[in-house]
């Protein structure tokens, strides 16, 4: 399937809206932690939907750290294990394991590059 520029821009806008919602309007706010092109689904109208929240974590945006109380309420445990897909992860996340909303912002930038170039990390899309 070949995507027009208008469709690509709409997909980019949908992804940015989804990440904005996760960071600023969901309760508690969360970081997706594994945003990549293969975790973006398109509906029949080519509207992008972010999927695969298995790596998502609640976060205290005021202090830019994972909200441990929220994690306990959800039955989740924090680990020092860095989660994500190489190529979509911010360098500071790889180096020190710190996850902030900037991690998702970096991944959105890579997704935008994928949309503009018509390629994904390791496979072709948008054709």
Q: 37 CB contacts (<8 Å, ≥6 apart)? A: 111, 114, 120, 121, 125
Quick one: CA torsion of 45, 31, 103, 62, rounded to 10 degrees? 130
Q: Check pLDDT > 80 for residue 125.
A: no
Element housing 123 (H / E): strand 123-124
Q: Using CA atoms, how far apart are residues 32 and 36, in angstroms rounded to an integer?
A: 10
Q: Is the predicted pLDDT of residue 69 greater than 60, yes or no?
A: no
Q: How confident is the model at residue 6 (pLDDT cuts 50, 70, 90)?
A: very high
pLDDT at 75 over 50: no
Domains of the chain, each with CATH number or no CATH: 5-124 (1.10.510.10)
**Full-model pTM:** 0.72
Answer for the pair 53, 81: CB distance below 8 angstroms, yes or no. no
Q: Cα(90)–Cα(95) distance, rounded to whole angstroms?
A: 9
pLDDT tier, 78 (very low <50, low <70, confident <90, very high otherwise): very low
């Amino acid at each position: 399937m070949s995507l027009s520029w208008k469709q690509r821009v709409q997909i980019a806008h949908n992804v940015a809206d989804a990440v904005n919602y996760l960071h600023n309007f969901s309760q508690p706010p969360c970081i997706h932690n594994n945003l990549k092109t293969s975790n973006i689904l398109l509906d029949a109208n080519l509207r992008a939907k972010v999927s695969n929240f298995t790596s998502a974590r609640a976060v205290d945006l005021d202090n830019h750290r994972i909200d441990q109380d929220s994690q306990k309420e959800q039955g989740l445990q924090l680990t020092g294990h860095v989660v994500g897909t190489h190529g979509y992860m911010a360098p500071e996340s790889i180096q020190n394991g710190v996850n902030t909303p900037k991690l998702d912002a970096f991944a959105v930038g890579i997704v935008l590059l994928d949309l503009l170039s018509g390629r994904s990390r390791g496979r072709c899309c948008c054709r």
